[in-house]
């Protein structure tokens, strides 16, 4: 084991390269709605708290949050997705425009609403979440339309992120089309996975599951596991899917990077100073890793930056993103690396 040090000049060079890259983001967009209030009494109708709503805020969620993360990093995101022909869809497009992102690659569907997740919050504590969505695959025509948009965007992009939230944009034929196009053109492709599509991810560049998703990918029940069990789990997934790289996020334990070449395993302990909300942390990890990798970073350098970015976002309530200077300021901790033969 050794602790490789990353020179600040090297990290700055990688981060400066973010603005030279563009990444296609394909997946399920949604809105995260927060109803903020306070609880002063219990309902006379049922033994539940009554939240007196004082404020309502909305944030970009799902693939739209990945886009927001990339935009804030300085990387150009090209979104390919579907929203409903409704007020929430209009609001989502407006919010993308407000952060400087185009929505030209997002089509409106007559058959589904825009996904919105409403969280009722009392004194910064989530009381309940209500989801309004339709979980079903897109129609054949919708997939053809976004498939054509994807091919157009891919020509000028450095890589692709598939942000799969299992709502219908990512289906078996579409994933196959994306992977085939990326493989033929030698483009980087990263996937934030969902359990119903694990068998479709063969041969992509990197997958970034959390520990629960990693257990599901390996066909195992989720449970707390030792460091050695994490290693065995990761190698099993990497080998089964023929992946060059696998990055497993481990919540308070940080993350684990597996590299096929050299059978190299790297554990990156968490650098979070406090954990307030993990919502959207996975979006931050895949965004920063992808931006760094397509900017010329090695996998361990990309994971190192992603780990620091995640540590910053979990300290915020709700989905959050990190700007390049804040990310660079936060970097500087050592990591443990070991090679498994």
Q: What is the DSSP string of 307-336?
A: HHHHHHHTTSSSS----HHHHHHH-----E
Residue 265 lies inside a defined structural domain of this protein: yes
Residue 169 lies inside a defined structural domain of this protein: yes
List C-alpha distances in Å: 335 to 80, 218, 249, 270, 297.
35, 26, 15, 10, 16
Residue 182 lies inside a defined structural domain of this protein: yes
Active site (catalytic) residues: 283
Residue 316 lies inside a defined structural domain of this protein: yes
Mean pLDDT of the chain: 88
Question: Which SS3 state, helix, strand or coil, does residue 44 take?
Answer: coil
Question: Which pair of tokens denotes residue 290?
Answer: 């992808």
The pTM of the full predicted model, rounded to 2 decimals, is: 0.90
Could you give the CA distance from residue 268 to residue 68 in angstroms, rounded to a whole number? 25
Residue 159 lies inside a defined structural domain of this protein: yes
Identify the pLDDT of residue 167.
92
Identify the pLDDT of residue 204.
93
According to DSSP, the residues that pair with 109 across neighbouring strands are 84
Identify the pLDDT of residue 274.
56
Q: Which domain holds residue 189?
A: 8-31+61-114+133-339
Read off the pLDDT of residues 111-131 as tens digits, 9 standing for 90 and up: 999 999 999 999 889 999 999
Name the helix (H) or strand (E) containing 289. Answer: helix 281-294
What is the total count of domains within the chain?
Answer: 1
Residue 1 lies inside a defined structural domain of this protein: no
Which CATH number covers residue 215?
3.40.1190.20
Q: Which residue has the higher pLDDT, 9 or 39?
A: 39
Residue 286 lies inside a defined structural domain of this protein: yes
**pLDDT band (50, 70, 90) for residue 223:** confident
Residue 288 lies inside a defined structural domain of this protein: yes
**141, pLDDT greater than 50:** yes
Residues 6+ apart with CB under 8 A from 232: none
**pLDDT band (50, 70, 90) for residue 29:** very high
Identify the pLDDT of residue 335.
42
CB atoms within 10 A of CB 69: 29
**pLDDT band (50, 70, 90) for residue 203:** confident
Read off the pLDDT of residues 54-105 as tens digits, 9 standing for 90 and up: 999 999 999 999 999 999 999 999 999 999 999 999 999 999 999 999 899 9
DSSP summary character for residue 139: P
List C-alpha distances in Å: 176 to 78, 180, 277.
19, 6, 34
What mean pLDDT is predicted for residues 150-176?
Answer: 93
Question: Which pair of tokens denotes residue 191?
Answer: 């996937």
């Amino acid at each position: 084991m050794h602790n490789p040090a990353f020179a600040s000049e090297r990290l700055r060079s990688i981060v400066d390269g973010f603005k030279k890259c563009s990444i296609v983001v394909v997946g399920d967009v949604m809105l995260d709605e927060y109803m903020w209030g306070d609880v002063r009494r219990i309902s006379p109708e049922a033994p539940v708290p009554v939240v007196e709503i004082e404020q309502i805020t909305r944030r970009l969620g799902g693939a739209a949050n990945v886009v927001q993360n990339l935009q804030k990093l300085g990387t150009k995101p090209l979104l390919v997705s579907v929203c409903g022909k409704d007020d929430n869809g209009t609001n989502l497009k407006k919010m993308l425009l407000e952060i400087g992102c185009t929505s030209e690659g997002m089509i409106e569907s007559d058959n589904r609403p825009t996904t919105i997740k409403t969280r009722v919050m009392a004194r910064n504590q989530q009381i309940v979440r209500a989801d309004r969505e339709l979980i079903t695959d897109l129609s054949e025509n919708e997939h053809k339309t976004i498939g054509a948009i994807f091919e157009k965007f891919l020509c000028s992009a450095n890589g692709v992120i598939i942000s799969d939230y299992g709502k219908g944009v990512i289906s078996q034929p579409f994933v196959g089309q994306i992977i085939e196009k990326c493989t033929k053109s030698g483009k980087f492709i990263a996937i934030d996975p969902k359990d119903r599509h694990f068998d479709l991810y063969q041969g992509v560049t990197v997958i970034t599951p959390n520990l629960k998703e990693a257990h599901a990918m390996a066909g195992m029940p989720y449970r707390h596991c030792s460091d050695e069990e994490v290693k065995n789990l990761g190698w099993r997934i990497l080998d089964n899917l023929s992946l060059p790289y696998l990055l497993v996020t481990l919540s308070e334990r940080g993350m684990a990077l597996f590299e096929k070449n050299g059978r190299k395993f790297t554990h990156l302990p968490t650098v979070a100073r406090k954990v307030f909300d993990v919502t959207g942390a996975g979006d931050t990890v895949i965004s920063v890793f992808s931006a760094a990798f397509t900017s010329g970073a090695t996998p361990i350098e990309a994971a190192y930056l992603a780990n620091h970015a995640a540590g910053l976002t979990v300290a915020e309530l709700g989905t959050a993103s990190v700007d390049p200077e804040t990310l660079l300021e936060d970097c500087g901790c050592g990591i443990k690396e070991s090679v498994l033969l």
